[in-house]
Amino acid sequence: AEAAPAAAAAPAAEAVEGAHTAAEQGGDSDSDGDDDEAEAKSDGSREPVEEPPYRKTPEGAAPLESGAIFRGRVGAVAESGHIAIVNDLIDVGRTRKYLRQCKSDRSRVDGLIFGFNRGGFDVLVYGLRAFCPVSGVSIDNIQDPTTLLGQWGEFHVQAAKSGSQGLVVSRRSILEKEARKAAKALLKSLEEGQTLEGRVTQVREFGIFVDIGGVEGLVHQSEISWEHGTRPADVAKPGDTVKVVVLGTKERESKRERHDRVSLSMKALQPDPWDAHKDSLVEGTPMKAPVVRTAEFGAFIQLAPGIDGLLHVSELGGKDVQHANQVVKDGDEVYVVIERVDKKSRRISLSKLSDAEAELFEKGELTAANRAPKLKQGSSVKVVVQQVLSAGLQVRIENVIGKKGRGFIPNSEMGTARGTDHRKKWPPGTEIDVMIIGTDRDGGLRCSRKRFLQDEERRAVREYRKEVSKQGLGTFGDILKAKLGLDQDSSQ
């Protein structure tokens, strides 16, 4: 029965408790004055005490309806204002002897949780009031004590304080044993890729702990969402119900751990952004995108939700730039072009657009159509001089954006005599035919004018020999005579 709140029920509780104590001491039951010596036999053994004939509410019995009359006597009153009514006569002395025997034998006893107080819960055991500490009633954190009221359970009788006549019970060891057994069975049944529903137990900076039925698994921060930098606290809180996918299990590393480690994932149930954006994220695509984080080696640019690309620090400035945050900060929007897409490792390399290219992009005149041709070592291409340096010429392939359109011709590969003034002969804007001889570590092209000229000479010789082989020696002589005759005519 549920009475008024504890403060209002205190006087009534004291009166009822006083009457109940008097009944226990000399009412309708045997005295509790028997000590352990009276229970012992002459040979030192103890005579077993039979279980008291106390009737527990049968399982499946129809619950009492509101307004129904229930006759009994007050068994106990909890500090919370809840009253236990018992309709059996309790042999207090015999019951206490039996409970002492259960404590000694570590036998389990049935108990009904009927109230709670500041330190724990009130439990009715064979009609007698017992105290169960909060730590002994559940292995989980208790958010609302009223959820346990009316529950039957098995308990162990614990040792009470010296000189105390009160009963102390706990069911923690029983629950832990059952939990270990259930966890062992669950771990055996877990399969990689299995989808489960669980309850969030803890939220930490590195991830979310989820109870999937007696076994606690970890959703690491990297497995919460496809979007980088997602904070676990922004996704879930203790008590939330979430769906997870089993990634695998790992044997526990110490005895302190209750069971093997279970790795879980929440993002595995979310659409893969790489599939959603596979058609738009192709090499050569220019875009304007925000910086999401910076590092010493470069800045990460968000190309799409859940997909970031790396803009190397070399694209942000010269050798003086030691960290990307010296040039850009989180939230800045930059103009970039996709240089390389590695779908297997989920990495995208970017290069920065020049100011002129960024201006064309804003006008809509720069698109993915301006991609670099299939250039490989030995290919010939026409380039435009961008800048003449002391070490060589910086050039660019016309209408090709990104680092794949950038190149450099060292002075040694210009094919000119020592002391030639390259600035005067090839000012910025001049077109030069070159051969690709490789790429540098930043992905730019290494070009050579000298090798292009050598290749042109070899090509001219091959064409000449081919032409000679077609015409034959006589024909060649006629051509030569005709040429000489023309020369003689012209000399006359």
SS3 211: strand
How far is Cα 239 from Cα 237, in angstroms, rounded to an integer?
6
Looking at the fold, whether 264 and 278 belong to one and the same domain comes out as: no
Q: Is residue 402 part of a domain?
A: yes
Q: Is residue 45 part of a domain?
A: yes
Residue showing tokens 């240089």: 339
Q: Is residue 253 part of a domain?
A: yes
User: Where among 250, 269, 288 does a domain terminate?
Assistant: 269
Looking at the fold, whether 291 and 358 belong to one and the same domain comes out as: yes
Looking at the fold, whether 194 and 220 belong to one and the same domain comes out as: yes
Looking at the fold, whether 195 and 80 belong to one and the same domain comes out as: no
Looking at the fold, whether 262 and 277 belong to one and the same domain comes out as: no
Residue 204's beta-bridge partner residues? Answer: 207
Residue numbers of the domain that contains 344: 273-363
> Number of structural domains, the chain?
4
User: Where among 219, 252, 269 does a domain terminate?
Assistant: 269
Closest residue by Cα to residue 170 from 103, 117, 100, 258: 103
How far is Cα 345 from Cα 278, in angstroms, rounded to an integer?
14
Phi and psi, residue 39, nearest 5°: -85, -15
Q: Is residue 470 part of a domain?
A: yes
CB atoms within 10 A of CB 211: 14
Q: Which two tokens stand for residue 128?
A: 């007698």
Q: Is residue 178 part of a domain?
A: no
Closest residue by Cα to residue 133 from 120, 146, 145, 116: 120
Looking at the fold, whether 190 and 140 belong to one and the same domain comes out as: no
- Looking up residue 317, the CATH number of its domain turns out to be 2.40.50.140
- Predicted confidence pLDDT, tens digits, the chain (492 residues): 444 333 333 433 343 343 333 333 333 333 444 444 444 454 445 567 778 776 666 566 666 788 888 888 888 899 999 999 888 788 888 888 999 899 988 999 999 999 999 889 999 998 899 999 999 999 888 889 999 998 999 999 998 776 667 899 999 999 988 888 888 888 888 888 889 999 998 899 999 999 888 788 899 998 998 887 788 999 999 989 999 999 988 776 666 666 678 899 999 898 888 888 888 888 888 889 999 989 988 999 999 888 899 998 888 876 778 899 889 999 899 999 888 888 888 889 898 888 878 888 888 877 665 555 567 788 888 888 988 998 899 888 877 777 777 889 999 999 898 888 998 999 998 999 999 888 777 667 889 999 998 888 888 777 777 777 766 555 555 555 555 554 444 444
Looking at the fold, whether 29 and 158 belong to one and the same domain comes out as: yes
Q: Is residue 22 part of a domain?
A: yes
Looking at the fold, whether 104 and 253 belong to one and the same domain comes out as: no
Looking at the fold, whether 190 and 233 belong to one and the same domain comes out as: yes
Looking at the fold, whether 21 and 88 belong to one and the same domain comes out as: yes
Looking at the fold, whether 148 and 20 belong to one and the same domain comes out as: yes
User: Where among 125, 140, 170 does a domain terminate?
Assistant: 170
Q: Which two tokens stand for residue 293?
A: 């984080």
Looking at the fold, whether 116 and 134 belong to one and the same domain comes out as: yes
